[in-house]
A and B are shown apart, each in its own frame.
Chain A
Amino acid sequence: AQKVTQAQTEISVVEKEDVTLDCVYETRDTTYYLFWYKQPPSGELVFLIRRNSFDEQNEISGRYSWNFQKSTSSFNFTITASQVVDSAVYFCALSGPGQGSARQLTFGSGTQLTVLP
């Protein structure tokens, strides 16, 4: 069975601070895919990143960076110099390699990030 844990329910930071959102996953698959999605107050989930289990290179995209560590089963997300527009719920998700239901997304419970001006 797959499981995604986002232990931080809510985080508040002041604008321009850096913030890291934690994600820990469990899976028996040797090949799997990890995702981060952003859900702003409007409700639409915005795809941020997909990471394959065989690629442990960290990734940076503007103010966003992701740290994938298979040894600790973690896929953490850091926002540098946070902005008010970053306020949203962030979901980490996991899917397996196979067909059908194995490729469904297992979502974490989400982290509500509030960036204060």
Chain B
Amino acid sequence: GAVVSQHPSWVICKSGTSVKIECRSLDFQATTMFWYRQFPKQSLMLMATSNEGSKATYEQGVEKDKFLINHASLTLSTLTVTSAHPEDSSFYICSARGGLAGSWTQYFGPGTRLLVL
């Protein structure tokens, strides 16, 4: 149980294009999903927290117009990197947490490696 998938796992795109990454909880309902960014040999940096049906809460320094997050259902959240540039190249990881009382554990997706040329 508690499986989270991400698609795509790899994406290479040209500068200026937009990229959408999907995060799905496969066997549980995720009332809260998180999006992280990780640079090589560094820890995870939280970008935003999204609750189903409401707007995402972005961390300080994260541009909400550049990183669009939609959490339209209890099993799906999407991150769109708009007008991507080479500095957006990174490893993007989502996680999901269930809605049960006391559900404190975040389960992570396999990540998406984005390379912007």
- Which residues on A are within 8 Å of B, measured CB to CB? 33, 35, 37, 42-47, 50, 91, 95, 100-101, 103-105, 107-110, 112
Contact = CB atoms under 8 A, between A and B. Distances in A.
B35 to A, nearest CB: 12
Nearest to A110: B43
Contacts, number: 50
B109 A33 contact: no
Interface in B90-111: 91, 93, 95, 97, 104-111
Contacts of B32: 103
Contacts of B104: 33, 50, 95, 103
The A interface, classified by DSSP as helix, strand, loop or mixed, is mixed
Interface of B: 2, 32, 34, 41-44, 46, 49, 57, 91, 93, 95, 97, 104-111, 113
Highest count of chain B CB atoms <10 Å: which of A42, A45, A50, A100: A45
B43 A44 contact: no
Contact of B105 (A44, A47, A91): A47
A96 to B, nearest CB: 10
Given A42-B110, A43-B91, A45-B108, A91 B43 contact: yes
B49 A101 contact: yes
A35 B110 contact: no
Contacts of A100: 49, 57
